[in-house]
Chains A and B, each alone.
Chain A
Amino acid sequence: MTTVSSFAPRTRRNVELVLLLLAVGIVVLAYVNVGLSVSGAFPPGLVTHTAGLLVISLAFHLLLRWKAAYADPLLLPIVTLLNGLGLVMIHRLDIANGRDVGSGLALKQLTWSALAVAIAAVVLWFLRDHRMLRRYTFTAAVVGFGLLILPLVPGIGRTVNGSRIWIGLGPFTFQPGEVAKIVLAVFFAGYLVQTRDALSLAGRKVLGFTFPRGRDLGPIIVAWVLSLMVLVFEKDLGSSLLLFGLFVSMLYVATERTSWIAIGMTLFCGGAYLAYLVFGHVQQRVHLWLDPFAPGQSDQVAKGLMGMAAGGLLGTGLGRGRPDLTYFAESDFIIPSFGEELGLIGLFALLVLYVLLVERGLRTALGVRDGFGKLLAAGLAFSVALQCFVVVGGVTRVIPLTGLTMPFLSYGGSSLLANWSLVALLLRISDVARRPVEEVQAGPTPSGEAKTEVVAIR
């Protein structure tokens, strides 16, 4: 039912254009809203800002028409809207904190956005078929692990807010973990496509579950140790959870064996419990999660909760709340900032946007014909879902608070670069997935393996 060839192929680029204009319209409306409620006047430079936003998004849209005509039409409007709303909130917090436009965070975020879009365009331009990435499976492994441990290298690693997940080169700081997520997804996809037969077929049956052979446990153990190392040495609970969750989910998709999830969950829970017993910073996080109002500890979660409570159902309106009272209101706690000013309804709208984004990614995974593409698309889409869960769950007390940023919304250049590139990959895969079969075969590098995969799916 999801095979593209079963109905007449349509590019849907016009749908994308309409949605894109709608997204830009919403962002501009929000921007005007902030200006009107804060100073009672239209923001200065409204026309140039609107024009700039339009030029960037339309340029990307034209690139898609030219280079990836069959790409999913929802992805670009969704991330444009999220990125734009994030910019508006950061601009709004600039005003509240007395930072003027020239030196504010919003301008930096805008610069990073433009750069991120440019890099995404470059990815789309040069990566004509995602299967090209499979050649670099083990290069990706080296680069991915390298990026992960980079913050630990003395001299360039930086500790910010207790987590050693930053690197600094001169005036620039960068969070390599965000990029590592994508590179490792490429590695996992390439590696699992090769080894899935061994990982999925061999094994013993115990209590209805087929458990893998001892020697096949190697990769999951390696991923587990790696994520624990991130937790212990970089003190980054969020990246650790994200990394391991990504691997286990991709392993499951590759092997279709539930036992891998059971093993993964057991390993993660065991590791997390051990970390809780041994490390003070993990204990702090857990206590903060269980009782955010207990005296004598950080009140950052409490502040966020009070912000959301102040917003209630409908929110105070953009520019009318006090999200600046929350710590990290423009990065880790941007969700409570939106909850305060747009209310529960606005928060739901944002979450639904993320659900749509993830769902389009998973749909791409279903539609694409080759195993590598399926794994990569599913992994990337699920990593976005998992990251949203870790961030929003952290500030709404579903799980302990961790230090991750909300994709596209939060302030932060590395996060924007990584996530726009991630979307570029998804766009490319979806283009291949939705392209009519004749065109695919006539297109670049039709590998023999792709054909056998088509058979394997049926």
Chain B
Amino acid sequence: MNAPIRRLSTVVALLFTALLLSSTYISFVQAKSLQDRPENRRTLLANYARERGQILVGGKPIAKSTATKDELKWLRTYPQGDLYSHITGYYSFTYGAGGGVEGAENALLAGSSDKLFYRRVSDILTGKEQTGASLELTINAKAQAAADKALGNQRGAVVALDPTTGEILALVSHPAYDPSVLSSHDTDKVVAAWKQLNAASTQPMVDRAIAGNLYPPGSTFKIVTAAAALESGKFTEESQIPGPAVLDLPQTTADLPNDFQGNCGPNNKTSLTHALEISCNTAFGWLGMQVGADAFRAQAAKFGMGDRLSVPMTVTPSSVPAELNMPQLAQSAIGQYDVRVTPLQIAMISAAIANNGIVMRPHLVKKVTSSDLEVIDETQPEQLSQAVSADTAAALTRMMEAVVKSGTGRAAQISGIDVAGKTGTAQHAAGSAPHAWFTGFAPSSDPKVAVAVVVEDGGNAGNEAAGGRVAAPIAKAVMEAVLGK
């Protein structure tokens, strides 16, 4: 019986080898990903044991940790919670970190990021208490406040960018919420608030500016169609194109009418500039079909549509449908059909035109600093793509100036400063008022700020809304705040 006993000992060796391997896999190979899981209470507790980094705007904290006497040694507070809720996000013991920079840069704020490795080692050696890194944001406090105030109680979003660097100057999504209620140490209150926020039909926890339900861009997307036409070389801003009251679409009985009654110019003809100025649907529908689906889609992609961006929060990619027949192409050329965008994407389009056709990578974090204000990392402006040539960008700028000077976007005029822009009124569901849009930049000669504004269901103006009436004044307020007017 000795031979089988020896073989049995081989079986035992195999069984224990399996155990050694599995425990190595968990404790060593998988350890990092297990510790980063949001529901991992041990990681949360460890994070609460050290001071979390601040989130700063213009040197002032919009999220900070204050010492407490209870088991969780630090309480996260948000001095202007509602104003910055979609930027900071929340930091909750029960629900983890999420909803904004708190979630996206959790490792840096908590101090567990690999970027902080050498600092941690030196802290251990010098016996200094470890703290998380602080983040200085690119947000312009005045622009943020102006956007928040101008949007008021209307649902929607505002994004402002610095066109030359890609810095995000304002990021507002309404309705907002106060993240302080989620960071409270009173678990029952936190759970109740969380449930209420998530159940609310207005979805206050959705960041409409970069994520959430994408919007149809409406007429703001005519800029993309115009860019594609100019880039094709077949059209100039002065080209005369058809602009009838109703465009007969091929392959279908449906027609494409203008939003206003009548045609876009004498003899049903209009220049490209005039078509943009008065937001002529028929001219741009026709133009889209002339450009072709491939060139149209390619132009949209060059502006960043479909890119997976993180600012550092993950941005939902905007999209143009992959398959477009002629009528669908005509609809898409005026920003309807299944074109879906984030307000950030629309702001990036304006910013690219303002920046000689170059799209800059949008970002929210300017600097990462240690608790003693030493700079650990600084974001450098980065070029994403060349969307259009400098000449096309200049032509588009002139066309968009006309929109604000004498067209649909007059409400965005700022005295003494040239503003370029485009309005939009996006149909999105039968029976609902259209979304009001405005995008633009200023000063058009030396752009300092590019904005996009969307007001859901026309905001307080309801069915009477058009981008020019509802969204343009909000954009104006933000641009004025940035320009110090």
Contact = CB atoms under 8 A, between A and B. Distances in A.
Interface residues on B, range: 35 or more
A393 B3 contact: no
A385 B16 CA distance: 8
A250 to B, nearest CB: 9
A388 B5 contact: no
A366 interface: yes
Interface string B29-49: 011101101011111011000
A365 interface: yes
A311 interface: yes
A310 interface: yes
A390 to B, nearest CB: 9
B423 to A, nearest CB: 44
A303 to B, nearest CB: 8
Given A256-B1, A343-B27, A351 B12 contact: no
Interface stretch (A56-64, A123-131, A374-382): A374-382
Nearest to B12: A385
A305 B3 contact: no
Given A256-B3, A310-B35, A347-B27, A362 B8 contact: yes
B26 A358 contact: no
Contacts of A306: 34-35, 37, 40-42
B4 A382 contact: no
Contacts of A293: 37
B22 interface: yes
A396 B23 contact: yes
A389 B35 CA distance: 25
A258 to B, nearest CB: 9
A311 B27 contact: yes
Interface residues on A, range: 35 or more
Contact of B19 (A2, A366, A375, A389): A389
A313 interface: yes
Interface in A298-340: 299, 302, 305-313, 321-322, 325, 339
B5 A374 contact: yes
Contact of B42 (A254, A322, A362): A322
Interface string A272-290: 0000000000000000000
Given A313-B28, A343-B27, A393 B19 contact: yes
A348 interface: yes
B125 interface: no
Interface in A67-113: none
A359 interface: yes
B234 interface: no
A242 interface: no
A392 interface: yes
B121 interface: no
B9 interface: yes
B28 A344 contact: yes
Given A378-B8, A382-B8, A309 B18 contact: no
Contact of B41 (A325, A339, A344, A366): A325
A396 B15 contact: no
A301 to B, nearest CB: 11
A253 B4 contact: yes
Given A249-B8, A253-B5, A306-B40, A351 B35 contact: no
Contacts of A308: 23, 26-27, 31, 34
B40 to A, nearest CB: 5
Contacts of A138: none
Contacts of B40: 306, 309
A309 B30 contact: yes
A388 B15 CA distance: 9
Nearest to A315: B27
B12 A382 contact: yes
A310 B45 CA distance: 11
Given A253-B5, A306-B42, A310-B42, A385 B15 contact: yes
A348 B42 contact: no
Given A351-B16, A388-B16, A309 B27 contact: yes
Nearest to A362: B9
Contacts of B2: 2, 366, 374, 457
B12 A398 contact: no
A248 to B, nearest CB: 11
B27 A359 contact: no
Contacts of B31: 308-310, 312
A429 B39 CA distance: 50
A310 B44 CA distance: 11
A298 to B, nearest CB: 13
B15 A252 contact: no
A424 interface: no
Residue of B3, B9, B27, B41 most packed against chain A (CB within 10 A): B27
Contact of A344 (B1, B15, B23): B23
B254 interface: no
Closest 4 CB pairs of A and B: A309-B34, A396-B22, A344-B27, A309-B31
29 contacts: A2-B2, A254-B1, A293-B37, A305-B26, A306-B41, A307-B42, A308-B27, A308-B31, A309-B26, A309-B32, A309-B40, A321-B42, A322-B42, A339-B23, A343-B27, A344-B28, A348-B20, A351-B16, A354-B16, A359-B12, A362-B5, A366-B6, A374-B2, A378-B5, A389-B16, A392-B23, A393-B15, A393-B18, A393-B19
Interface of A: 2, 249, 252-254, 256, 293, 299, 302, 305-313, 321-322, 325, 339, 343-344, 347-348, 351, 354-355, 358-359, 362, 365-366, 371, 374-375, 378, 382, 385-386, 388-389, 392-393, 396-398, 457
